[in-house]
Amino acid sequence: MKKQMPYSTPEGYFDKLQTRLSDIPARRSRINLTPYLALAASFALAALAGNYILMKTTASQPASDEEIVEYLIDSGMTLAQLEDAVYDY
């Protein structure tokens, strides 16, 4: 940073951050599935998806906050429109 930033960080933060970030490749490879596991997982996923669709069509589940946020962003609604809707409500 060339200009002074008005912030500081906890003591030794950047050393800890580097250690944590450097561990990402090892952690990602640990969670890499073998092809057989991936095949089993895809069957399980298909079964879960079927179950999910069945549940969706038979009972209405409330959407999570994250789903609502994603939907609103994807729908192209502006923040002003959203605020109007919220405060008019």
Which residue ranges make up the site for other proteins (CB under 8 A)? 1-10, 14, 17-18, 20-22, 24-25, 28, 65, 68-69, 72-73, 79, 82-83, 86
CA distances from 44 to 33, 40, 66 (A): 14, 6, 24
Residue nearer to other proteins on the CB measure, 59 or 86: 86
Residue nearer to other proteins on the CB measure, 8 or 57: 8
CB of 77 to other proteins, least distance (A): 9
The SS3 of residue 44 is: helix
Residue that is written with structure tokens 């002074």 in the block: 4
